[in-house]
Amino acid sequence: MIKKINGEQWKQLQFKGAKILRKKYAISSHGRAASYYEDIYKDGKLLEGSLTSGYKTLNLHVDGGNGTIYFHREVANFFIKKNSPKDKFVIHVNHNKTDNNVKNLRWASQKDAGTHQQKSPEKIAYKKAQLSKTKGLKLSSVQVKAIKSAINNPQRKLSYKQIADKFHVSQMTIYRIKSGENWSAVK
C-alpha cells in the first residue's frame, strides 16, 4: 500500500517486455517508483531502485528489453514538455542526482547541460582541488604558459597535434587548456 501525496501523479511505465511481467511499474511526478498488480494505492510497493553513476535506476530484466530505467528520464518524459527538439538531456536543477521531483528536473540541450554541469558544487570543488595540486601533473605552469602563448600566437605555425607532441600530452589536453577547462588559473 502506498500513501497518497497531494499533487502527486503516477504514470505506468511502458517498455519492451512489460506485458510479460506479473507486476506493473509506475513512476510519479515526485520521482518515486512503484510496482503494483491492479491499483497502485491498494497493492503497490515503493521501490528504492539502485544507483548508476549517482542516478536512481530500476533494473528490470526482461527478454529483449532495456533492463535499466532512469528515474529522472522517465519523470521528464511523462511530466515535462520539451521546449526544443535539441532538448535531449535531463538536468537536475539543484545538482542532486537522486532528487527526481518534477520541480527539480528540466530538459536541456547538450550545450546547456554541459554549462549546467560546470556549475555543479562537485565540479567546482574538483576544480579547486586541481588548482592546489602539485604532484602527479604532466605539465608545469611554465609549460602551460608556453602552450597558451603558442596557441594564441597569430603567426603560429604548429598545429595542435604538433604542440601536443612537443609537450608529450594529448591533443585533448591542448584543447582543454585552450578552452580554459584545464589550467584556467595560469595566465
Q: What is the pLDDT of residues 156-184, one digit of tens each?
A: 889 999 999 999 999 999 999 888 888 87
Q: How many helices (H) and strands (E) does the chain have?
A: 7, 9
Other C-beta atoms closer than 10 Å to the C-beta of 171 total: 14
8 A C-beta contact, residue 71 and residue 100: yes
Whole-number pLDDT of residue 182: 82
Whole-number pLDDT of residue 65: 58
- Residue 55 C-alpha cell reads as 542516478
In this structure, the chain runs to a length of: 187
Biggest CA–CA distance in the chain, Å, is 74
Across the chain, the runs of DSSP E, i.e. the strands, are 10-12, 24-28, 33-36, 45-47, 50-52, 55-59, 68-70, 89-92, 105-108
Block mean pLDDT (10 aa), the chain, length 187: 93 83 93 95 94 92 74 96 95 96 97 93 83 76 90 90 93 90 80
**Is the pTM of the predicted complex or chain greater than 0.75?**
no
8 A C-beta contact, residue 30 and residue 102: yes
Q: What is the pLDDT of residues 76-92, one digit of tens each?
A: 999 999 999 999 999 99
Domains and CATH numbers, the chain: 10-122 (3.90.75.20), 133-179 (no CATH)
Whole-number pLDDT of residue 66: 61
Cα–Cα distance list, 16 to 20, 47, 60, 62, 176 (Å): 9, 20, 10, 8, 41
Whole-number pLDDT of residue 181: 82
